[in-house]
Amino acid sequence: MSLRDSLHSLIQRLAGRRPAAEDERLIALFRNRAELKKELQALDDERHRLLDRLKLQEGATMRVEEQLATLERYLGVPEEGMKCLAYFQLRAVWRAASRRLEQFSAELARQQKDRERKQQLADFEHGRRQRLGDLDRELVEANVLADQLQAEQQIARQKLAQLNGFWNYFRRRALAEAIEARGLRVEAALKVLADLNGARQAIVAEPPPVFEGLSLEGRRVANLAVLACAESLAARIADGGLGELARQSTMRRVYETSYGGRDECVALMQRTAHAIADLEQRPEDLADVKSRTDRLRRSACYRGEQDVIPTQDSVQQSLAGGASAGTPNVLLDEYFEIYSALLR
């Protein structure tokens, strides 16, 4: 359709004349063409995105294959086999400690949530009982006032019925006006009583508040306990530098390490096997974790008011506090994938 035809069709529309059926079909075709172009462009973008992902996956696959080939060649050297076994057992020690720390963090978060939720419900119930107590006192006063006004009204009506004779005209008139005024007070008292009963029913029917998650202080307390648990786990595998060797195994490749000869590797594997069994079977020393948590609570500092993870310098044990020179800073050295176990 030319520009002239388009303008002609627009003028016809503005003039109130309906366009021809052929024009309508052409407009519909142009609309469909535009929609198809949009869908085609979206499909083309999706195709390029998938091709990019395929290239990335192919690159990752090639790197893994190269690593496997290098590892196979390395394992083909007999004297390197024992070192490989020791290396991967050290990584197993690190993973066992990481799992233990993650489980401790999850259980601690659950307990803290239960504790805070119970406290929230207790505060809610306490506040509701207090409001109901105040409202019940108002209800007693409102009931007494309503009963008193109704009794006075009944006595006044009985007295009005007994005032016969024209000589009681003025007394009947005054008493009737008093009855009318008291009637308004009775209606107001009954309305107040109904409102108070409605308010009481609303308070009784109030649902408990929704728990929106751990508080700032609760997350800080939990994180300090997680840090204390990480320190305790590090102390359990610190003998003979086993903990540092396990940490180095997560930072170096297998052919970049050296643990000595065959006898040294065998001795190291025996120690790692003992450490793994200890981490998987022996429960946490809760007394040790508590004492470390108390120390961290005294020294922990935060960069901002809303931060829940203390600064790395503030969790460092001082030698004056009884720490050994080899005591690690579990936050600075990222022991046992600790940042994944800490609450945000």
For 251-261, write each residue's pLDDT tens digit: 888 777 888 88
What pLDDT score was predicted for residue 322? 45
Where do we find the tokens 């096997």? 273
CA separation (Å) from 216 to 20, 123, 292, 304, 324?
70, 18, 21, 12, 32
Contacts of 203 (CB under 8 A, 6+ apart): 128, 131, 132, 135
- pTM for this model (two decimals): 0.68
Question: Within 10 A of 323 (CB to CB), how many other CB atoms are there?
Answer: 15
Q: Which residue type is seen at 89?
A: Q
Q: What is the pLDDT of residue 324?
A: 47
Could you please report the per-residue DSSP string of 4-66?
HHHHHHHHHHHTTPPPPHHHHHHHHHHHHHHHHHHHHHHHHHHHHHHHHHHHHHHHHHHHHHH
- All structural domains of the chain with their residue ranges: 3-71, 81-121+215-341, 124-204
The pLDDT score that the predictor gives to residue 107 is: 92
**pLDDT digit string (tens) for 26-42?**
677 777 777 888 888 88
CA distance 143 to 122: 31
How sure is the predictor about 192, in pLDDT bands with cuts at 50, 70 and 90? Answer: confident
Q: How far is it, in rounded angstroms, from Cα 257 to Cα 248?
A: 9
End-to-end alpha-carbon separation of the chain, Å? 62
C-alpha 51/C-alpha 304 separation (Å) is: 44
- pLDDT score at 200: 87
Going by C-alpha positions, the residue among 222, 223, 233 that lies closest to residue 115 is 222
Assigned CATH topology for domain 124-204: Helix Hairpins (1.10.287)
* Letter string b/e over residues 127-138, b meaning 16 or more CB atoms within 10 A of that residue's CB: eeeeeeeebeeb
Give the C-alpha separation, 336 to 322, whole Å: 23
Whether the per-residue pLDDT at 320 is higher than 50: the answer is no
Task: Give the pLDDT mean for 140-146.
Answer: 87
Tokens of 213: 């998650």
CA distances from 25 to 1, 16, 22, 35, 36 (A): 11, 19, 5, 15, 16
How far apart are the C-alpha atoms of 335 and 343, rounded to whole Å?
16
pLDDT at 95: 92
Beta strand spans in 82-241 (E): none
The model's confidence at residue 319, banded by pLDDT at 50, 70 and 90, is very low
Q: Tokens in use for 158? A: 């009985």
Residues 6+ apart with CB under 8 A from 215: 116
